[in-house]
Structure 1
Amino acid sequence: MYKSEQLANSIKQLIENGSLKANEKLPSLRDQVNRSGLSLMTVLNAYQELESQGLIYSVEKSGYFVAELFSPLSLSSTHNPTVSLNAKIEINSLVFNYLKSIQPSEIVPLGSAFPNHELLNPPKLIQIMGQLTRNKKNFEQNINLPPGNFELRKLIAQRYGMQGIPTQPDDIVITSGCLDALNLSLQALTKAGDYILLQETIFYGAWQIAERLGLKVVTIPEHPQEGFDIEAFEQAIQTYPIKVCWFMLNCHNPIGFTVSEKIKFQIAKLLHEHQIYLIEDDVYEELFYRGTKPLSMKYFDQQNLVLHCSSFSKTLGSTFRIGWVYAGKFSEHIQHLQLMSTISANTLMQNALVEFISNHHYEKHLRVLRRNLEKNKRIFFEYFKKNLPTGCEIHNYAGGYFLWLTLPSHISSMTLYEHLIQQNIGVAPSQLFNVQQAQKNHLRINCSFSWTIEIEMAVKQLIANISD
């Protein structure tokens, strides 16, 4: 074990046993060097590893602090990973009816997948859109047909490059949102009857697309500490002829964890050994709170086996549903599929994004958005921690805007959702994200909203329904 890993594990134990409290300042890098006798680089690597795990956070010019400790996932201490084959998936009707039910404006949107719209749709981008509409050239479709606006692809490629991922504009295909990118990627890599591997609890879009394409789905459970179960992953790819994996490893939806770089490296190694493709759903990649953006699996990919998918919709709003896939050698195939379905992403929005990003407005917007999301989520967390009844657990991770609640085992989250929707309150039950019948007592709560009287009353009503 490297010395940096030993130091990181020692600090992690102090955090987990309560010796280091939430928001307590850690020794500075130089103080830690003097205490441990290690080099400055070793100490820095240890702190950065703890930061990537969400255990500590950095504040510019102030140092490193202990993050609020999340509850581990609700699995027994003798964790025995179980790989499951889901031969028949029937979830499209459930998701359709759910999404229709939370659409009315009177519903308090605690079950929404999108951040509070008041934090999105930046005025500068709206202004740019208005200016561009006055010039008919900005509506020309031909220059923005697949693979999409060249200048936008170049800007996205530059953002990959800033994370140490060599990227050319031709590697990128612009899509109509992340779901479109994921859909096209899975179509490009599979045919009906192929085996794909999903995390057991995952964004319902993965289940929907697998059902529509007639794929056989193998699932692996979440790990109680790491989030991703590398042992179960290895077991699955040795047991089944897996063609493609679809994983969400940064700000996981719905649970919220971010997988460590160590685990990501192990995933990449196994993918390469078994020559298995990975479609990475990284739509929440920019919604980290402190430190540096967590690395995607594309960073660890040495054989072009990873198709990385993301979008601007979770940072700029659902109005700006522009996504992309780092398609690499599959770029031409995905463009062909795109021309037979969505054709291309909105031309005017692509042009507006070029100006918005190239003039550094996007980074300013992201900084404000992250601060607001972190603040709002902390208020929700403190309220739930104080008021939820005995038997409930809150899974709180550094990043994103969801809290994942574990309810007492006798409570069905679907039944709870059905009661609450009658009271004009939307929540997201675990049955949307996990087809295993045993996983029925979890809720995803959207915590991106300011703490208004309306929100407080809705949360009180939610807690009252759990307590009944």
Structure 2
Amino acid sequence: MYKSEQLAKQIRHLIENGTLKAHEKLPSLREQVQISGFSLITVMNAYQELESRGLIYAREKSGYYVSNTIVDVELARPLIVSLNSKVEINSLVFQYLKSIQGEHIVPLGSAFPSQDLVFSKKLTQIMGQIARNKKSYDAIDNLPPGNLFLRKLIAQRYCMQGIPTDADDIVITSGCMDALNLSLQAIACPGDYIVLQQNIFYGALQAAERLGLKVVTIPEHPQHGFDLEAFEHILKTYPVKVCWLMLNAHNPIGFTVNEEIKLKIAELLHQYQVHLIEDDVYEEMYFGQQKPLPMKYYDQNNLVLHCSSFSKTLGAAFRVGWVYAGKYSQHIQHLQLMSTISVNALLQNALVDFISNYHYEKHLRILRKSLQQNKLQFYRYIESHLPKGCKLHYYPGGYFLWLKLPESVSSMQVYEQLIQQNIGISPGQLFNVSEQKSQCLRLNCSFEWNEQFQQAVDTLLHSIGTFEAT
């Protein structure tokens, strides 16, 4: 049990036994720090947990007070996991992606960041220079596992995070999706059990459908993002072969799981000898000074295959990714030679020049700053104009906002109405195998705020209000 949960449980007990009366003021956050000995963030999390369950309420500029009504809900949430023996989502994804194509669509549903942010003039210049050199097109040196110099540069970036890595551990792929699919093929067979998060990038669901895997989904924890209790329950209950998880700047919701939970996940993987395919394509899109550690940092016995890409930071045209494959390197290379064969040699050579001369780091610093500004501007506007019954989730990192709609409103209905007005959004059904309607949707907030996006957001919010009224 986390410290914040311990404190919340203690305060709940005081409320239930009458020590704390209805409408009695609780100690301030700083007073509670002195009383309990816990940190300020722990106390804040405990108060927010109690408030979310209706046990206490906040008064502006006054503090927290005990609610009048005791909500008979245990702080420990019920375990809600779902087994799906047959996933069928590819047709829905195909129809959706076709519908949002075209320059006339306002791209709030796009999976890629604004091209204005990721475009690098310097990288384009490098491409032009090396394109005139015939040797740059030589495919032999760029066949699996990929360009040696590029693999060395990627290995160095792992080492900088304290992850011992050799160039031979890395296999260059045609984007992160290729890395993820090859990794899954190397580990799983039709009929195997795979663990996915309840809401997850639809590419994971498509991969499970294609390979005929049995999907067990794990719910998101409302406070921590990842539900450790449910995860351990799944590993005890099902013969799980592999997990496919996104723990940094999660798509579609946006949370980043803390280091304490990542360490526990690694311990459980080791205990049950389950592999993890880590989708970390947004690893460089963090806000602040500290880059979140990947699960590979906590890996035991080479159970984690870490996958990432340059396509989110440099644009969709640069579909160059990689997998930290370790002992699976040879197997993945064999699979690669039967599918994508190799990654564009020109792109690999250009990236070597771009990264080795420190242009990439400068590009990333500017990108992160712009993403943070743009996402915050979208959030502030939407939050201040939210219809009744909506909740907007904001997390520091990435470029997505996750909007929960009123229970009576389906995100698919909203999507269908907006696409007729040339506005794209991502309905929750794309990220969830549940047959129930989804009341959530994902918004791409990487774009510079302007009149076009404000009008599109206003139309979205009006549409939600209209459905709620009916």
**What is the TM-score normalised by the length of structure 2?**
0.85
272, 275, 285: which one aligns with 2:273: 275
Q: Which residue of 2 aligns with 1:359?
A: 357
CA contact (8 A) 1:256 1:404 kept: yes
Are 1:259 and 2:257 matched, yes or no? yes
Are 1:133 and 2:131 matched, yes or no? yes
CA distance in structure 2 between the aligned counterparts of 1:139 and 1:18, rounded to whole angstroms:
68
AA aligned to 1:428 is: S
Q: Counterparts of 1:241-260 in structure 2 under 5 Å? A: 241-260=239-258
CA distance in structure 2 between the aligned counterparts of 1:300 and 1:208, rounded to whole angstroms:
28
2:83 match: secondary structure: strand
CA distance in structure 1 between the aligned counterparts of 2:342 and 2:409, rounded to whole angstroms:
44
CA distance in structure 1 between the aligned counterparts of 2:442 and 2:158, rounded to whole angstroms:
30
CA contact (8 A) 1:81 1:220 kept: no
Q: Give a deviation string over 1:258-316, Cα, whole Å, max 9, x none.
A: 00100000000000011100000000000001021100000000210000000001111
Q: Which residue of 1 aligns with 2:22?
A: none
How much does 1:452 deviate?
A: 1.1
Q: Counterparts of 1:22-61 in structure 2 under 5 Å? A: none
Q: Which residue of 2 aligns with 1:325?
A: 323
Q: Counterparts of 1:276-315 in structure 2 under 5 Å? A: 276-315=274-313
Distance 1:355 1:463, change over 3 A: same
Point out 4+ residue stretches in structure 1 off by more than 2 angstroms: 17-20, 75-79
How much does 1:78 deviate?
A: 5.8
Identity of aligned residues (%): 64
How much does 1:88 deviate?
A: 1.5
Q: Give a deviation string over 1:27-73, Cα, whole Å, max 9, x none.
A: xxxxx9xx99x9xxx99xx99xx9xxxxxxxxxxxxxxxxxxxxxxx
Q: Counterparts of 1:32-431 in structure 2 under 5 Å? A: 79-431=77-429
CA contact (8 A) 1:81 1:229 kept: no
2:196 match: secondary structure: strand
CA distance in structure 2 between the aligned counterparts of 1:281 and 1:168, rounded to whole angstroms:
20
Q: Which residue of 1 aligns with 2:454?
A: 456
CA distance in structure 1 between the aligned counterparts of 2:420 and 2:408, rounded to whole angstroms:
21
CA contact (8 A) 2:410 2:437 kept: no
CA distance in structure 1 between the aligned counterparts of 2:460 and 2:337, rounded to whole angstroms:
45
How much does 1:438 deviate?
A: 3.4
How much does 1:164 deviate?
A: 0.3
CA distance in structure 2 between the aligned counterparts of 1:80 and 1:111, rounded to whole angstroms:
32
420, 438, 463: which one aligns with 1:465: 463
2:217 match: secondary structure: strand
AA aligned to 1:158 is: Q
1:285 match: secondary structure: coil
1:437 match: secondary structure: coil
CA distance in structure 1 between the aligned counterparts of 2:440 and 2:75, rounded to whole angstroms:
19
**What is the TM-score normalised by the length of structure 1?**
0.85
Aligned residues: 417
Distance 1:78 1:465, change over 3 A: farther
CA distance in structure 1 between the aligned counterparts of 2:317 and 2:74, rounded to whole angstroms:
42
